[in-house]
Amino acid sequence: MEDQVKRNWDQFLELIRKIGGYNEAVALMHWDLRTGAPRKGVELRSETLGMLSTEMFKLSISEEMGNFIEEFSKPEINEQLDQVSRTIVAECKKEYDHNRKIPADKFKEFAVLSAHAQTLWEEAKENSDFVSFEPSLSKLIVLLKEFIGYWGEKDTRYDTLVDQYEPDMTVAKLDAIFSRLRDRLVPLVKKIEASEHKPETAFLDQLFEQEQQEKFGKFILEQMGYDFEAGRLDESVHPFMIGLNPRDVRITTHYLQDDVTSAVFSSLHEGGHALYEQNIDTSLAGTPLATGTSMGIHESQSRLWENMIGRSRAFWERYYVDLQKHFPQQLANVELEDFYRAINRVENSLIRIEADELTYNLHIIIRYEIEKMLFNEGLEVKDLPRVWNEKYEEYLGLTPPNDGVGVLQDVHWSGGDFGYFASYSLGNMYSAQILHTLRKEMPQMDEYIAAGNLAPIKEWLTDKIYRFGKSVTPAELILRVTGEELTPDYLADYLEEKYTEIYKL
Amino acid sequence: MEDQVKRNWDQFLELIRKIGGYNEAVALMHWDLRTGAPRKGVELRSETLGMLSTEMFKLSISEEMGNFIEEFSKPEINEQLDQVSRTIVAECKKEYDHNRKIPADKFKEFAVLSAHAQTLWEEAKENSDFVSFEPSLSKLIVLLKEFIGYWGEKDTRYDTLVDQYEPDMTVAKLDAIFSRLRDRLVPLVKKIEASEHKPETAFLDQLFEQEQQEKFGKFILEQMGYDFEAGRLDESVHPFMIGLNPRDVRITTHYLQDDVTSAVFSSLHEGGHALYEQNIDTSLAGTPLATGTSMGIHESQSRLWENMIGRSRAFWERYYVDLQKHFPQQLANVELEDFYRAINRVENSLIRIEADELTYNLHIIIRYEIEKMLFNEGLEVKDLPRVWNEKYEEYLGLTPPNDGVGVLQDVHWSGGDFGYFASYSLGNMYSAQILHTLRKEMPQMDEYIAAGNLAPIKEWLTDKIYRFGKSVTPAELILRVTGEELTPDYLADYLEEKYTEIYKL
């Protein structure tokens, strides 16, 4: 690299790290707001969040940024950069082009509004009071539609939103993938419904002391290889993972006294997200590549740990004895096999985050369809609870008794995150495809798990996926790791095999 | 106010609130670093803290700020402002003049260094390892001396530092005040040493469950009127209060299993600081006046609640029964009068924050003298442990067995806060003088306290002190509230009266 190019690059990195610094401050404020910030301070805090987000936004679309991008995009300069540096430039350019189109005051309005809406949502959910949340949600959607106008519609308005979370994914592709998946899963669900070999789950309906749940959750996270010296575990209404920097990756969980499995599997889930972020190569720290390559790939890692490892027979062959030790009164007389079958019961239910691996995809399809309606088909916000309830009746045969366990159950919309939900099912599909390869390359995987030796799995995932962060695209990554493009068949195969055995189909 | 002046003023307020926003972000990061941020994330976090501090600093010395100050300082404009607005301008000007003299890279260096040093200090204190902390401390002092050079020495180098925390206070005045106080307190300490009526304290040396300590501490904070919806209570190595905004004022405490009084009185102490910040008039929010007027006045409020109220007989006439309920095994057979005498024992000791009301001032004088030596008399950092230990032997007849309970015991120096310690004794003196007036104006004060009716005291303090924040100077405030300038005599009177009774002198 020429000396002058090197000097410019260092200045460029300084600008990028400054943006990263704002990002860290904003992330800490979000974490704080959701883990115990005092209620009365929220309004002033939201103003501050808006201000910092605006400053970050201004830098990402600054003339200085524009000049650097132009400079490093010149062929004779660009060829002097290594592959990762080129990807950094491309990522900044994408962000620059994307954000340059939004006026700064609109961006600030969005940041303030979404911070405030998240707080209102928490209360609205608590009180099952959709009406108190509706005006904020409406305003967010109006703003997002304006944003789509600024960005330019892709095939449809909703395509523009989907592309944000899963680059190069389209509504047309998703429709095709989801319909293929649906064609294989619906018959499976029907067969399970008709099965006479339903798991017994009554023993799960007991009180499980929170303190013991906390201890067991921490133990499992340690076993997975979550580094508590580079993260921390807290409580929040809705569990989440947030990476402040690659050495400060925090997770939260939510304890239910009458359901020990909820916190266990949400810890495994957020732990999976966190393993991804904690193991990104340090050379990417402070750059826009120090995160997951897409929401779908991120979700594949949470799903892999939560479901494919965390709900496997091998996993509980090793850890059930520990769970029993934490809850002797509740579980001493419950057999491992009964526990394994119970945590894998399939049952149509109301709450997405409590849903089983199989019907989970129906929860996603409902949200995906509603979001399409909101952005492409003129559905009004006031009609959301009705449409939500109708779809739950249609797809899952259930009507929510109130909006707290219905349309208000998820945090996403309060943050303006429309287009995100599809990622969850994409995550399921990616993870099954990755698992297939992992099993091929590590035939003794189940033995490792059953011996509590999870490190080789974490290492394999780090080597194949985690360390690259966002320096490869999701499509490149899945092709490179598995040798194939994304297909829903591995997920369908996995689920058919697993449930055929459990339900003796 | 003319229209144009009004428009300018609004723009000025926007700039000020932006600075306030950075301040809030930086404060949250500091809080986070001390209440559980993951160890491995600290290095990257320190960089971010440095970046945000630098941005804040740049704004406070920006051309834009300079122009506003110049504009609003013009007599024909200034006279259109109300008193509070004029004080805001004056405060910004003081900050501007002060900071304009420090080069931005020096300021950043200081911010990064002090954030890092605080983390090193925590470990050094834990391991009683001064050597690992020495290089950082040396660098901080070298930088501060450079800063003093930029600011310009007042009477002495150390004067320049003292003035930062207590405006218009000088080393000469402090020498005079401390010597007068010493002349009255030393004989009192001697008499107490000679007394045959020493309190029995053996019953305090028991194990007190942390969970119960936490419950009682929260109860007492609620009784004081600390608003938990505008703050939160956490644990940290060294207790502190930090105001993120006037509706988010956080405190921390530190629980010692073998000393129930430590957490109780540190909660009362930090709670006193917090009451001040929580009750500043909302009209000052986001301006530089939304804080205490000086460190000394701030400390007077923590001391008033910790000692003058919290260690009074009336207070425990009401709350001792609650403490007994929290610790029946430990205290059921201990009489109120014995407890009252025990928490007011006078004893020469090693740890400042555990010291009694009387000898506390000797701890301060040691630090005050050492800081003067560091900045005015060429004491080298490597000699600190030796000088510290010699002075403790000389003033208190004790030599610390290790540096963890010696020179490393306080957080202040690791943050570069030299010149601060004097504020603690100033706080004692202010608080005694304020208490004298409070008693005169509220003769039934002790009855209120004994009835658990602390609200009138909080309201009186809010009305006389809290609500004004930094819109009055400490000297103005003490004169306005008490009708007199600061004198150490009220503190001496208070202590003589209290201990004469307790020790039957």
Judge if A119 and A197 occupy the same domain. Answer: no
What mean pLDDT value characterizes chain B? 94
Q: Do B230 and A285 touch (CB under 8 A)?
A: no
- Domain presence at residue A166: no
Chain A residues with CB under 8 Å of B55 CB are 55
Interface of A with B (CB under 8 A): 17-18, 20-22, 24-25, 28-29, 32, 36-41, 43-45, 47-48, 51-52, 55, 227-232, 244-248, 250, 285-286
- Domain presence at residue A165: no
Judge if B391 and B439 occupy the same domain. Answer: yes
Q: Do B32 and A36 touch (CB under 8 A)?
A: no
Chain B residues with CB under 8 Å of A39 CB are 229-230
Final residue in a domain of this structure, among B119, B152, B185? B152
Judge if B241 and B301 occupy the same domain. Answer: yes
For residue B248, give the nearest of A41, A247, A250 by CB distance: A41
- Domain presence at residue B160: no
Judge if A137 and A175 occupy the same domain. Answer: no
pLDDT in tens, B451-490: 999 999 999 999 999 999 999 999 999 999 999 999 999 9
**Confidence band, pLDDT 50/70/90 cuts, at residue A396:** confident
For an interface test with B, the pick among A29, A49, A51 (most B C-beta atoms closer than 10 Å) comes out as A51
Judge if B288 and B397 occupy the same domain. Answer: yes
Mean pLDDT over B247-259 rounds to: 94
- Domain presence at residue A262: yes
For residue A40, give the nearest of B20, B52, B229 by CB distance: B229
Indicate if the pLDDT at residue A168 is higher than 90.
no
**Confidence band, pLDDT 50/70/90 cuts, at residue B495:** very high
User: Which residues make Cβ contacts (< 8 Å) with residue A227, sequence separation at least 6?
Assistant: A278, B40
CATH assignment at residue B358:
1.10.1370.30
Indicate if the pLDDT at residue B130 is higher than 90.
yes
Judge if A148 and A257 occupy the same domain. Answer: no
Indicate if the pLDDT at residue B129 is higher than 90.
yes
Closest CA of chain A from B340, distance in Å: 34
Chain A residues with CB under 8 Å of B29 CB are 25, 28
Q: Do B48 and A228 touch (CB under 8 A)?
A: no
- Domain presence at residue A92: yes
Return d(Cα B207, Cα B256) in angstroms, integer.
Answer: 9
Indicate if the pLDDT at residue B505 is higher than 80.
yes
B354 annotated active-site? no
| DSSP sequence for B304-365 | IIIIIITTSHHHHHHHHHHHHHH-HHHHTTS-HHHHHHHTT-----S-GGG--TTTHHHHHH
For residue B36, give the nearest of A232, A244, A286 by CB distance: A232
Q: Do A44 and B247 touch (CB under 8 A)?
A: yes
Indicate if the pLDDT at residue A1 is higher than 80.
no
| DSSP sequence for B276-287 | HHHTS-GGGTTS
Indicate if the pLDDT at residue B1 is higher than 80.
no
Predicted pLDDT at A353? 83
Domain residues for the domain of A19 are 3-152
Indicate if the pLDDT at residue A385 is higher than 90.
yes
- Domain presence at residue B163: no
Judge if B129 and B192 occupy the same domain. Answer: no
Q: Do A32 and B29 touch (CB under 8 A)?
A: no
Out of B166, B270, B306, B357, the active site residue is: B270
Which has more pLDDT, B291 or A237?
Answer: B291
What mean pLDDT value characterizes chain A? 94
Q: Could you give the residue numbers annotated as active site of A? A: 270
Indicate if the pLDDT at residue B275 is higher than 80.
yes
Predicted pLDDT at A459? 98
Return d(Cα B341, Cα B119) in angstroms, integer.
Answer: 38
Judge if B208 and B261 occupy the same domain. Answer: yes
Strand duo A248-253 + A241-245: pairing: antiparallel
Q: Do A230 and B40 touch (CB under 8 A)?
A: yes
Judge if B243 and B358 occupy the same domain. Answer: yes
Final residue in a domain of this structure, among B94, B120, B152? B152
Q: Do B52 and A227 touch (CB under 8 A)?
A: no
Residue A251 φ then ψ, to 5°: -130, 155
Q: Do B248 and A25 touch (CB under 8 A)?
A: no
Residue B299, marked binder = yes
Q: Do A227 and B40 touch (CB under 8 A)?
A: yes
Return d(Cα B209, Cα B199) in angstroms, integer.
Answer: 24
Final residue in a domain of this structure, among A119, A152, A185? A152
Judge if B252 and B106 occupy the same domain. Answer: no
Chain A residues with CB under 8 Å of B286 CB are 44
For residue B38, give the nearest of A32, A51, A247 by CB distance: A247
Indicate if the pLDDT at residue A485 is higher than 80.
yes
pLDDT in tens, B14-60: 999 999 999 999 999 999 999 989 999 988 888 899 899 989 989 99
**Confidence band, pLDDT 50/70/90 cuts, at residue B171:** very high
B164-168 contacts, C-beta under 8 A, 24 or more apart: B164/B419, B165/B294, B165/B295, B165/B296, B165/B419, B165/B420, B165/B422, B165/B423, B166/B294, B166/B295, B166/B296, B166/B422, B166/B423, B166/B426, B166/B474, B167/B294, B167/B473, B167/B474, B168/B473, B168/B474, B168/B475
For an interface test with A, the pick among B55, B226, B232, B244 (most A C-beta atoms closer than 10 Å) comes out as B244
Judge if B484 and B414 occupy the same domain. Answer: yes
Of A137, A504, A106, give the one whose Cα is nearest residue A337.
A504
Residue B436, marked binder = no
Indicate if the pLDDT at residue A335 is higher than 90.
yes
Closest CA of chain A from B58, distance in Å: 14
Predicted pLDDT at B84? 94
- Domain presence at residue A187: yes
**Percent above pLDDT 70 for chain A:** 100
Indicate if the pLDDT at residue A430 is higher than 80.
yes
Judge if A97 and A228 occupy the same domain. Answer: no
- Domain presence at residue B159: no
Q: Could you tell me where the beta strands, DSSP code E, fall in A29-83?
A: none
Mean pLDDT over A305-322 rounds to: 98
Chain mean position to CA B372: 20
Q: How many domains does chain A have?
A: 2
Indicate if the pLDDT at residue B108 is higher than 90.
no
ipTM: 0.85
**Percent above pLDDT 90 for chain B:** 86
Residues in chain A: 505
Q: Average the pLDDT over each of A105-109, A130-134, B67-71, B195-199 and give the range with the smallest value.
A: A105-109
Q: Residue A259 gets which letter from DSSP?
A: B
Mean pLDDT over A129-142 rounds to: 97
Residue A299, marked binder = yes
For residue B51, give the nearest of A18, A47, A248 by CB distance: A18
pLDDT in tens, A37-48: 999 998 888 889
Predicted pLDDT at B37? 93
pLDDT in tens, B179-226: 888 888 888 988 998 999 999 999 999 999 999 999 999 999 999 999
